[in-house]
Structure 1
Amino acid sequence: MSISVQARIHPSAVVEPGAVIGAGCQIGPFVLIGPEVRLAEGVEVKSHAVVTGWTEIGAGTVIFPFACVGEVPQDLKYAGERTRLIVGARCRIREGATLNTGTAGGGGVTRVGDDCLLMTGAHVGHDAILGDRVILANQVAIAGHCQIGDDVIIGGLSGIHQFVRIGRGAIIGAVTMVTNDVLPFGLVQGPRGVLDGLNLVGLKRRGVDRSDITAMRAAFQMLAQGEGSFLDRARKLSEETESDYVREMTDFVLSASDRSFLTPK
């Protein structure tokens, strides 16, 4: 066990032998920290939270009451193999959220990037990969093996099907079931998710140049209404575009995936 002398640990907390607690960490009452947990500097774990498994928590992350971080996967094929959960810096894991470790068949690691916000009751399944600055609103469920790009926002009570990829900067409306891949910067809404346009508000907030936004809107229309199959249109766009943003969209479409795509209406 390695506990920094600068860490503050409530007397009722249980820190199991082998855990590593960094400088400036705060461990609240009735917290359980497992033997293979590593907390970087300045992590705060509030009352009644559980951090277990082979889990690393990045500097400055806060874990709120009753969150369960690093438990074994919800997968009947899991046979006790030693797999990991890695959470980045400055994340906020709110009350009742659950994050599971990976599985041997899925790469062995579940990963959450930096500066993410996982609101009350959110779930991150085994082998899922979340980028930086991802926001999961209340009760969002990310199934196993999903890939969520940087700056994605997923509205409350939404569910993401296993193996689905959501591209960078996309936004998913509340109470939406997403069963297929979502283009970077896409806007998805409806009970059975429909690709309904681009996340224009998010693009403008990030200061994306007007010429790139115009090119992306034209590309979206071509993907929706151009000649040939969806993949044919993406290939043609990739060859013709001069916009890095449009090329990011086409590269996403043309890369390997275990799911089909949500296509424009």
Structure 2
Amino acid sequence: MNAIHPTAQLTGDVRFGSGNTIGAFAVITGPVEIGDDNWFGSGVVIGAPPEVRGFAHPTHLDGSVDAAGVRIGDRNVVREYAQIHQGWEHPTRISDDTFIMNQSYLAHDVELGDGVTLASSVLLAGHVLVEARANLGLGTVVHQRSRIGAGAMIGMGSVVTRDVPPFAKAYGNPARVQGANTVGMDRSGYGDEAARSLDAVYRGEFDPGDALDAVAASPLRAILAEWFERAERRQ
């Protein structure tokens, strides 16, 4: 069963699993697929049309939006007045166990990996990818089509205009890599030695080869290698 406040408005093709809580005055417009055990606060907006100038905005407000949809997994928390827009080229996707704080904004085609944390008022432009367990601080702004690697930590008030590699610590305007997220690496079980080595690389003149050498004996090497390979293909 799902607990849906009587003031919530669900329109069009909205599909739920079980155990979800929908707060007062939430607005959900399909196509939207939601898994199990999610919690949505008051005033949340999910499934608004993608903010694309050429997109044909609907003239009837009693059905689904003709867009790529929103897909939300399990055990996510989406706090008050957060906005998650319909996908444009592909569905906007929220994986599992994310924590999205109040007034955050996820534009069309955004993807969040498992365990991502967005602090209050984080703004993600279209096509942004935030990989598993990354943590974005209060008021972070991320440029369209940017990619934030797994386990990265972005400081509050940062403006991210370029990709941030896995387990990096970045902050500023524009954001720059300032070291490794050693706390996140420790919590993920990668060990002190790998954390110290990667931190030294991220604090210096960054080079992917040096980063891979720094964690050569760690399972983290495969994650970094895959990330750098995809980054090179994107250039």
**TM-score, scaled relative to structure 2:** 0.88
SS at match of 1:115: coil
Match of 1:234 in 2: 208
Match of 1:145 in 2: 127
Cα distance change on mapping 1:116 and 1:93 into 2, 3 Å: same
Match of 2:230 in 1: 255
Match of 2:100 in 1: 118
* Deviation at residue 214 of structure 1 after TM alignment: 3.7
Alignment of 1:180 with 2:162, yes or no, is yes
Structure 1 residues 60-103: Cα deviation after superposition (integer angstroms, max 9, x where no partner): 10111111011111111323643110011111111100001111
Bigger Rg, structure 1 or 2? 1
Equivalent position to 2:73, from 88, 91, 105: 88
* 1:158-173 map, 5 Å: 158-173=140-155
Structure 1 residues 140-183: Cα deviation after superposition (integer angstroms, max 9, x where no partner): 00110011000011011110100000000001011110000001
* Deviation at residue 258 of structure 1 after TM alignment: 8.6
Q: Which amino acid aligns with 2:44?
A: A
Kept in 2, the 8 Å contact 1:164–1:259? The answer is no
Match of 1:3 in 2: none
Cα distance change on mapping 1:251 and 1:220 into 2, 3 Å: farther
Alignment of 1:74 with 2:56, yes or no, is no
Match of 2:87 in 1: 102
Gaps of 5+ in 1: 1-23, 261-265
Match of 1:48 in 2: 25
Aligned residues, how many? 226
Q: Percent identity?
A: 29
Equivalent position to 1:192, from 174, 189, 194: 174
Gaps of 5+ in 2: 58-65
Match of 2:5 in 1: 28
Structure 1 residues 198-236: Cα deviation after superposition (integer angstroms, max 9, x where no partner): 011112223322232244235436xx33xxxx6xx4246
Cα distance change on mapping 1:236 and 1:217 into 2, 3 Å: closer
* Deviation at residue 257 of structure 1 after TM alignment: 6.3
**TM-score, scaled relative to structure 1:** 0.79
Q: For structure 1, which segment, 198-207 or 51-60, has the greater mean C-alpha deviation from structure 2 after superposition?
A: 198-207
C-alpha root-mean-square deviation of aligned residues, in Å? 2.1
Q: Which amino acid aligns with 1:62?
A: W
SS at match of 2:92: strand
Q: Distance in 2 between matches of 1:58 and 1:186?
A: 31
SS at match of 1:195: strand
Q: Distance in 1 between matches of 2:213 and 2:170?
A: 26
Kept in 1, the 8 Å contact 2:181–2:199? The answer is no
Q: For structure 1, which segment, 208-217 or 142-151, has the greater mean C-alpha deviation from structure 2 after superposition?
A: 208-217
